Structure 1
């Protein structure tokens, strides 16, 4: 018996086209044309923006090989005009805080006063440069103290916060809700319940895993908490690329902290992935704290629309025993001038004897690279300390793509062995040191909000240099021969990562 399944209805169904498919067939060419036109126009705009050539080429390559991904990324993070719109109302004049400083019994250091510091005579050109490029005054009456690693840093911050009588301002890129985070939370809550004004800023991406219950407990205790650009849909958010990487603590407007450490167990070396965590922070007392305070209050105003400008946050400092010259340099995407980038270049370009750099991420631009090569070729002692293991893979391999040209110029590289080195230090001639949150990479220079303290010829500069040489004892020097014998696949990873680095 033969079964016949054919019928006129079935034959019609087999040959007919579904209405949705027919509609898609009609509009598909138009959508393809519009998308292609959009990609072409974006490429045209990128060229017209006169960006850094390497950044332009990176965007064009992404658009060519991954047009859909490139289109979305450019719309979200690539447009300079969007950056300007986002941060248009972040501009707050420094006039008020500078007036507060200038009305103090001891005025700020001016260019005409540099002769008073003969030990910095060799740095007169740098001081002039820093006056113009940093947009930060030289504060004179300060005391600084270098804090090495998490144990010492956390202990000192907790001690000073527990003594707060008026306010605590607490800002970190990463806050964990682990044991270390709980310890800080408890002190912040206790002080708030005692009537101390406590404000906390955390970054929406850096602290994306911060438990909501942690934040709720802080608020219930009276702590004011604000997130910098919280990201709910990471891949559909135009704020993803602009992060607040600052780490600032201010106690009563008189004591300040800044440096490389975030809040979490890993910064005490308790993360088995990294092991020992090598980092540096600095405690400040004196006029420089006013400038840290100003930066915090600007960030607070930007994310909360609440202006805080009471004199209580800039109290009389009393007698300061130290006479240290300190600048506070802040930079971020709210400015068309990359101030910390300029500051790094100025310090390196005016070096006369030695340049020592510690950074977890090293992706310099052409100007920094040329300044380092020129210094080494001129006979200066140029040494760079980097991690031996990756934290972020792309940045890790991009960093290594710069080794050969710098090694050939005489720059010496050291790879830290016991764990992960996360300090961000620049030392020049034993007279000038930068310590803070900015890495020696494009992201810190152009995309992140950063803050560094610049120290001039103090015991803290000597301490940082001593720490640097201690770290070299725990590091392995990478020679040009060693580097050239690396596996072929490392070369591929370095080249690809370097190509993508302008977009990181």
Structure 2
């Protein structure tokens, strides 16, 4: 099977080169002057395009991908780059964005003035993310069914408001039950606001959305698509998915509103996802985030009466052994600095013994690859938990290609069997962890709105136990493929698509 696979990639490469040569040959046959002009014009356009690509402030993997497109597939590559390859048009400097936001700077400074040596990393992350460290009691869910059962029960008991942020919403049993509950609560006087990604909402009929709006539910679509996908801004999506109930309870994790996430769609097999619920003062950070998102996408300012000082004092008094210290880290295409990537690099660089990562996708920017290599060569054990089953074969193959690079440096990888593991989590020295919506891939780090909750406390142990359970059910990758086992056409093709898929 492998020789046939390699033969396909060689034939594909020959086909691409042949088509390119044929185009130039036809031009030469028609008119010599036209051929010289075309050759010269192509050369000048390539130089100008290369200068534009390299002058942009973006990660090197994206620059390499687009350069390969432009060189290997001329004309088509140029059209794709200038239509789909442009940076998000509303991107701004991170420091400017932070200066315009309420960042609780006074509280952050006060919290860190008495930090012990063991708290340095956590405090550094708080300062960098401009987010106060707050307490929260976390309940985790290994199965999405249990997560949605508790979520729907909490919505049923809501008294004041239910605020939702979603990425992928699809017609089916799960959507029908959620819509029924939201309409029921709206009729009882509960305020419902729902932010949904405009791409992710396409699997629900327009008349269904219109009916929700007609019944009084405030639905706003994030990043409306224009001209299908022939604008680069259409590739930047909201991947956040959290629900706030009565400003007291937060539900978060990787599961979308679609039947396959509760294993009701036979074509997708069995899904697992590590979701969670948070109660306590930490919920304030998500209230603030939702208010910012609603202002950005609904153009409405939601007034809040929350006082961060009172929350911090109260959280100190209520702290118990079941509480966790938490920091919110968020990223998105509007921010010019890769906040999530740099947060992860910080966590990797501070690890002393062990790093565990769980992600359904694995396609890394060079900074994180370098950080992981340094950790591995320094004796830090790095383990990745990755799905052994996926319907997205191309994305999975690119992930395995990336994984192969780090396997050669000593990373350990486990592939889950008989189910698709959609969980997103990381643990560092069994002391600090994160949960959230962020995949360990370039799109999450650069092109999507994401959140992770950085955790210090009892929940870290729960995450470690879940990873141990997944490990016991998984197959360890024992054969390390050398770089030579990947044909050069496949390497080039994966490098081209790495930053896009």
**TM-score of Structure 1 vs Structure 2, range by shorter chain:** 0.7 to 0.9
Give me the whole-angstrom Cα distance separating, in 2, the residues matched to 1:248 and 1:503. Answer: 25
Q: Which structure has the bigger radius of gyration? A: 1
Q: Deviations over 1:23-76 (max 9, x none)?
A: xx9xx9999788876554332211223644443232122112323332333223
Is 1:307 aligned to residue 301 of structure 2?
Answer: yes
Q: What does 1:372-391 align with in structure 2 at a 5 Å threshold?
A: 372-391=372-391
Q: Secondary structure at the match of 1:71?
A: helix
Change in 2 beyond 3 A, CA 1:31/1:261: farther
Give me the whole-angstrom Cα distance separating, in 2, the residues matched to 1:35 and 1:205. Answer: 35
Q: Secondary structure at the match of 1:310?
A: coil
Deviation at 1:259, TM superposition (A): 1.0
Change in 2 beyond 3 A, CA 1:418/1:65: same
Long gaps (5+) in structure 1: 1-24, 116-120
Give me the whole-angstrom Cα distance separating, in 1, the residues matched to 2:35 and 2:289. Answer: 52
Give me the whole-angstrom Cα distance separating, in 2, the residues matched to 1:412 and 1:489. Answer: 20
Give me the whole-angstrom Cα distance separating, in 2, the residues matched to 1:379 and 1:98. Answer: 38
Q: Secondary structure at the match of 1:336?
A: coil
Change in 2 beyond 3 A, CA 1:431/1:29: same
Give me the whole-angstrom Cα distance separating, in 2, the residues matched to 1:89 and 1:278. Answer: 39
Equivalence for 2:111: 110
Equivalence for 2:203: 209
Equivalence for 1:47: 54
Indicate conservation of the 8 Å contact 2:84/2:230, yes or no: no
Q: Deviations over 1:373-411 (max 9, x none)?
A: 232333333210011123433332221223333222221
Give me the whole-angstrom Cα distance separating, in 2, the residues matched to 1:262 and 1:389. Answer: 19
May I ask how many residue pairs the two structures share in their alignment?
A: 462
Give me the whole-angstrom Cα distance separating, in 1, the residues matched to 2:386 and 2:150. Answer: 26
Is 1:415 aligned to residue 409 of structure 2?
Answer: no
Indicate conservation of the 8 Å contact 2:390/2:396, yes or no: yes
Change in 2 beyond 3 A, CA 1:465/1:452: same
Change in 2 beyond 3 A, CA 1:314/1:332: same
Change in 2 beyond 3 A, CA 1:454/1:384: same
Is 1:195 aligned to residue 189 of structure 2?
Answer: yes
Long gaps (5+) in structure 2: 1-30
Deviation at 1:272, TM superposition (A): 2.2
Indicate conservation of the 8 Å contact 2:169/2:257, yes or no: yes
Indicate conservation of the 8 Å contact 2:137/2:278, yes or no: yes
Change in 2 beyond 3 A, CA 1:91/1:351: closer
Equivalence for 1:341: 341
Match of 1:84 among 79, 91, 96: 91
Indicate conservation of the 8 Å contact 2:333/2:447, yes or no: yes
Equivalence for 1:371: 371
Indicate conservation of the 8 Å contact 2:92/2:334, yes or no: no
Give me the whole-angstrom Cα distance separating, in 2, the residues matched to 1:286 and 1:324. Answer: 10
Give me the whole-angstrom Cα distance separating, in 1, the residues matched to 2:37 and 2:287. Answer: 52
Change in 2 beyond 3 A, CA 1:287/1:391: farther
Q: Deviations over 1:100-148 (max 9, x none)?
A: x95xxxx996112323xxxxx54x3312431332222211x32111122
Give me the whole-angstrom Cα distance separating, in 2, the residues matched to 1:297 and 1:35. Answer: 49
Change in 2 beyond 3 A, CA 1:273/1:487: farther
Match of 2:244 among 250, 253, 270: 250
Change in 2 beyond 3 A, CA 1:231/1:51: closer
Give TM-score, length-normalised by structure 1. 0.83
Indicate conservation of the 8 Å contact 1:269/1:275, yes or no: yes
Give me the whole-angstrom Cα distance separating, in 1, the residues matched to 2:425 and 2:152. Answer: 24
Give me the whole-angstrom Cα distance separating, in 2, the residues matched to 1:443 and 1:362. Answer: 10
Equivalence for 1:332: 332
Give TM-score, length-normalised by structure 2. 0.84
Indicate conservation of the 8 Å contact 2:93/2:336, yes or no: no
Greater shift in the superposed pair: 213-222 or 367-376: 367-376
Equivalence for 1:468: 467
Equivalence for 1:449: 449
Give the aligned CA root-mean-square deviation in angstroms.
3.2
Match of 2:153 among 136, 159, 172: 159
